[in-house]
């Protein structure tokens, strides 16, 4: 999957705040993403995040 820093992703399961949109802050073996609803930052392994991505929105 081709995901770059600055891309926005839509995930299958919403964050507890209700938002499904996240901004990508860091890529590598782990991804650091920021919820666009509440601003919470999360680090997840690449395998888990790629499984849960529904759609990738390119940088604006």
At CA 54, angle to CA 30 and CA 6, rounded to 5? 50
Report the predicted TM-score, pTM, of the whole model to 2 decimal places.
0.87
Report the DSSP pairing between strands 30-35 and 8-11: unpaired
- Tokens 């650091």 sit on residue: 32
pLDDT by 10s per residue, the chain, length 60: 789 999 999 999 999 999 999 999 999 999 999 999 999 999 999 999 999 999 998 776
> 48: helix, coil or strand?
helix
Tokens representing 42 are 């999360």
């Amino acid at each position: 999957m081709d995901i770059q820093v600055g891309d926005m992703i839509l995930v299958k399961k919403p964050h507890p705040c209700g938002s499904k949109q996240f901004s990508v802050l860091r890529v590598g073996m782990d991804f650091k993403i920021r919820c666009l609803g509440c601003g919470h930052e999360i680090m997840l392994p690449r395998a888990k995040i790629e499984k849960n991505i529904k759609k990738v929105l390119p940088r604006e």
